[in-house]
């Protein structure tokens, strides 16, 4: 009998437990799911861009052209990020293969940035916003591998000028064989022909282009500075006064007034270079017989200069241009340490003098 009573008691307890699992008033409400946490990384951003970010290599066919839907979603992510709507940016970025990172830049006094990075390598780019920046300027590097060191240089220029936005392509311009539908030709990938779809400066499909477009449209005070590298024939780098350190343009070979930004920057950069006796800068918009590498087919430059169809058509209006296309010799793109007088900071000083004059 005693065993039977114990059995009945245990059975009653089990029934009570089952009833309690049915959602009665005694069941604790677990509440909403916790919001996902934005991953933080404490790194030197210059080293991170140079050593940690992965890049699609030349002739690898590793670049993936975004669909129209993906490009639109990316633009929406960028808007959310600019609005500091971080949770929405985090969720939406994940839908297109990106992660949102909070980066503490140890190379810039632990400055905080929020950056978009691709999860799997597809050549979609790396993008940062500095919410504490007092400017709205954008530093851009479309050819991080072909134009060597422009990826790390872009970080130096962003830091030194206090720019708000940074964009770095993560694909070699010659990674894919398929050609861009946009106008213009080049021989940088071999035989002369159309630009490749992987060339971030000559496409309107890439995330890189859409970041620049969205940032430009955000504010009438935004200026975009795009960094390029040119070879020894157009931009000799022999550490003497015959060097062409930089070729500056607003996306045109037209002569423009001395007050236009491209010509003001040219004057400021030459003021920096003159005492160093290691070359000079030239502008595509000053009277000259030597107007090369002027960026007339650059799609973002065409858009910023008012061309509604920048893939197929050149811009035609350059007054008050907010676009600065900078081709640079090998010397100014790198800092060789003590004794190196022409470095990325030479350009930083000229850019700061330019914006102080506005």
pTM confidence score: 0.90
Contact 304, 225 (CB under 8 A): no
- pLDDT above 70 covers what percent of the chain? 91
Mean pLDDT value of segment 130-137: 97
What is the phi/psi pair of residue 17, to 5°? Answer: -65, -40
pLDDT tens readout for residues 183-230: 999 999 999 999 999 999 999 999 999 999 999 999 999 999 999 999
309 assigned to some structural domain: yes
Q: How many CB atoms lie within 10 A of CB 179?
A: 16
Q: In this structure, is residue 70 part of a structural domain?
A: yes
> How distant, in Å, are the alpha carbons of 50, 124, 284, 290, 325 from that of 207?
20, 6, 28, 33, 19
Nearest to 189 by CA among 145, 226, 233, 152: 145
Q: Are 46 and 107 in contact (CB under 8 A)?
A: yes
Token digits for 46? 């210059």
In the predicted structure, residue 111 carries a pLDDT above the cut 50: yes
pLDDT recorded at residue 36: 77
At residue 283, does pLDDT exceed 60?
yes
For residues 337 and 232, the model is more confident at 232
- Answer whether residue 252 is part of any domain: yes
Q: How many domains does the chain have?
A: 1
> What is the predicted pLDDT for the residue at 338?
81
- Indicate whether 29 belongs to any domain: no
CATH classification at residue 283: 3.40.630
Would residue 302 count as lying in a domain? yes
- Per the structure, the complete domain to which residue 104 belongs is given by 36-356
State the pLDDT at residue 10: 40
Q: Helix (H, G, I), strand (E, B), or coil: what is residue 126? A: strand
29 band by pLDDT with thresholds 50, 70 and 90: low
And the tokens for 27?
């069941």
20 lies in a domain?
Answer: no
| pLDDT 10s digits, 329-351 | 999 999 998 889 999 999 999 99
pLDDT value at 17 more than 80: no
In a domain, 277, yes or no: yes
For residue 99, give the 3-state DSSP assignment.
Answer: strand
Q: Is it the case that residue 25 has pLDDT exceeding 60?
A: no
Q: Is residue 9 part of a domain?
A: no
Q: What are phi and psi of 335, to 5 degrees?
A: -120, 110
């Amino acid at each position: 009998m005693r065993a039977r009573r114990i059995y009945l008691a245990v059975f009653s307890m089990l029934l009570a437990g089952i009833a309690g699992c049915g959602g009665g008033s005694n069941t604790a409400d677990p509440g909403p799911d916790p919001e996902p946490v934005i991953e933080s990384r404490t790194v030197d951003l210059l080293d991170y861009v140079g050593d940690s970010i992965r890049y699609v290599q030349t002739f690898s066919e590793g670049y993936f052209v975004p669909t129209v839907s993906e490009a639109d979603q990316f633009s929406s992510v960028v808007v959310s990020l600019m609005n500091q709507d971080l949770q929405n940016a985090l969720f939406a970025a994940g839908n297109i293969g990106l992660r949102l990172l909070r980066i503490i830049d140890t190379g810039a006094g632990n400055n905080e940035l929020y950056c978009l990075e691709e999860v799997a390598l597809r050549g979609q780019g790396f993008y940062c916003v500095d919410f504490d920046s007092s400017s709205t300027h954008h530093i851009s590097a479309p050819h991080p591998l072909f134009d060597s060191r422009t990826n790390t240089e872009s970080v130096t220029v962003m830091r030194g000028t206090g720019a708000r936005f940074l964009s770095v392509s993560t694909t070699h311009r010659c990674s894919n064989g398929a050609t861009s539908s946009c106008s213009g030709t080049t021989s940088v990938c071999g035989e002369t022909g159309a630009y490749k779809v992987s060339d971030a400066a000559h496409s309107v499909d890439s995330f890189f282009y859409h970041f620049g477009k969205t940032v430009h449209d955000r504010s009438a005070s935004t200026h975009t500075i795009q960094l390029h590298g040119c070879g020894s024939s157009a931009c000799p780098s022999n550490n003497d006064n015959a060097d062409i350190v930089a070729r500056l343009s607003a996306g045109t070979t037209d002569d423009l007034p001395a007050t236009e930004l491209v010509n003001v920057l040219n004057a400021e950069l030459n003021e920096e270079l003159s005492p160093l006796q290691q070359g000079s800068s030239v502008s595509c918009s000053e009277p000259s017989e030597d107007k090369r590498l002027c960026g007339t087919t650059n799609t973002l430059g065409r858009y910023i200069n008012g061309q509604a169809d920048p893939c197929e058509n050149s811009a035609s209006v350059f007054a008050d241009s907010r676009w600065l296309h900078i081709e640079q010799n090998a010397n100014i793109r790198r800092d060789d340490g003590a004794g190196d007088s022409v470095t990325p900071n030479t350009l930083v000083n000229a850019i700061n003098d330019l914006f102080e004059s506005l």
